[in-house]
Amino acid sequence: MLRLHYNLEKLSMGLVVGIIVAASIGGAVEIAPLFTIDETVAIPDDLRPQTPLELAGREIFIREGCYACHSQMVRHLADEIDRYGPYSLAAESAYDHPMLWGSKRTGPDLARLGGKYSDAWHVAHLINPRAVAPTSIMPAYPWLTARLDTDILSAELATLALLGVPYSEDMVANAGRDALAQSRPDSDGAANVTERYGETVAIRAFDGDTSRLTEMDALVAYLQSLGTLTRAAYETLGQEAAR
Residue 237: per-residue pLDDT? 80
pTM of the model: 0.86
pLDDT, greater one: 32 or 174: 174
Domain regions of the chain by residue span: 2-40, 52-242
Spatial contact of 138 and 37, defined as CB atoms under 8 Å apart? no
Spatial contact of 123 and 220, defined as CB atoms under 8 Å apart? yes
Kindly indicate the confidence band of residue 104, based on its pLDDT and cuts at 50, 70 and 90.
Answer: confident
Can you tell me whether residue 214 is helix, strand or coil? Answer: strand
How remote is the C-alpha of 104 from its chain's centroid? 15
Residue 8: per-residue pLDDT? 67
**HEC readout, 44-85:** CCCCCCCCHHHHHHHHHHHHCCHHHCCCCCCCCCHHHHHHHC
Residue 106: per-residue pLDDT? 93
Q: What are phi and psi of 211, to 5 degrees?
A: -80, -20
Q: Is the pLDDT of residue 1 over 70?
A: no
CA dihedral 19, 24, 29, 33 (to 10 degrees): 160
- Is the domain covering 52-242 a CATH 1.10.760.10 domain? yes
Residue 174: per-residue pLDDT? 97
CA–CA gap between residue 76 and residue 139 (Å, rounded): 30
Please list, residue by residue across 152-177, b when 16 or more beta carbons sit within 10 angstroms of its beta carbon and e when fewer do.
Answer: ebbebbeebbeeebebeeebbebbbb
Amino acid (one-letter) located at 114: G
Which residues are CB-neighbours of 60 under 8 A, at least 6 positions away? 144, 215, 218, 219, 222
pLDDT, greater one: 8 or 118: 118
pLDDT, greater one: 83 or 241: 83
Q: Share the mean pLDDT of the chain.
A: 91
List C-alpha distances in Å: 107 to 121, 129, 224.
16, 12, 17
Q: Is the pLDDT of residue 133 over 90?
A: yes
Q: Is the pLDDT of residue 33 over 80?
A: no
